[in-house]
Structure 1
Amino acid sequence: MAFSPGDTGDLIDDNTILVQRTLRSGQKVHFDGNIVVLGDINPGAEVVATGNVIVMGSIRGVVHAGAAGDEEAVVMAFRLKPTQLRIATHITRPPDEQAGDPEQPEVARIKNGVVTIEALLTDRQGVI
């Protein structure tokens, strides 16, 4: 799918940072916008964004998307196993009994006032 400069609409957001490393315990990234992490978020690490958080790896630390109250914000990762996950004012943590590793990337979002985690389904046109 190709886009001409006038057709991109809301596909471009200049307010995004790229973190090109794994975040270890004690490391924190706070940003007024979207955060993309090329690596993992390990236990004890924290990522807070007023926009979306996308992790090309595993989330095992604390992640807060929509920190300014944006309930449309999402958290996406190859493996979503956070110690705590927040979207806007909603807070969740993993269940006591963890299932096995997911077979595909996952997305967390607010649905009907509750944080839900689902498989990120795609087709040839993109995210469904």
Structure 2
Amino acid sequence: MRNSWPASISNRPTMLYEKSLRSGQNINFDGNVVVLGDVNPGAEIVAGGHILVLGALRGLVHAGANGEEGATVTALHFAPTQLRIASHITRPPDGAENEQKPPETARIKNDEVVIEKYKAPR
């Protein structure tokens, strides 16, 4: 299987967090972070690499916190209060948190944060 992630990210350690994050809870990890649960409003994840949420993302996330613009954020339900990738910051439009959508991924393209439907690597 071909890995399309930059080597600087894919070679980082990965933290597996096996429950939901509630308001006031934080994860700060230099590598990649996988959450098996929800990230609720008021919760925060800061990762040096990718962030994958196998649940609802409704808190603040910062992927590529060490300046890695190749980092991504992926979630089954994508509605963060704030999204950061490297030095780029954005938030969803008002009302977007209630929309039912397929899993989505955020990444940097042409120096902008773009959010697109998740596509599995082939």
Question: What range is the shorter-chain TM-score in?
Answer: 0.7 to 0.9
How many residues align? The count is 115
Query: Quick one: which amino acid aligns to residue 101 of structure 1?
Result: Q
Taking structure 1 as the reference length, the TM-score comes to 0.83
Q: Counterpart amino acid of 1:93?
A: R
How far 1:97 sits from its partner (Å)?
3.5
What is the 5 A alignment of 1:40-79? Answer: 40-79=38-77
Q: Which has the larger radius of gyration?
A: 1
Give the match's secondary structure for 1:44. coil
1:1-128 equivalent positions in 2, closer than 5 A: 13=11, 15-98=13-96, 100-102=99-101, 104-122=102-120, 127=121
Task: Tell me the percent identity.
Answer: 55
CA distance in 2, matches of 1:14, 1:32: 8
Shift of 1:95: 0.5
Secondary structure in 1 aligned to 2:49? Answer: coil
**Structure 2: 5+ residue stretches without partners:** 2-6
Structure 2: distance between partners of 1:21 and 1:15: 19
- The alignment's C-alpha RMSD in Å is 1.8
Stretches of 4+ aligned residues off by more than 6 angstroms: none
One-letter code aligned to 1:31: F
Report the TM-score when normalising by structure 2: 0.87
Structure with higher RCO (Cα < 8 A, 6+ apart) = 2
How far residue 14 of structure 1 moved from its aligned partner, in angstroms, is 5.5
Query: Unpaired segments of 5 or more residues in structure 1?
Result: 2-9
What do the CA deviations read for 1:20-66 (whole angstroms, capped 9, x no partner)?
Answer: 00000000000011000000000000000000000101100000000
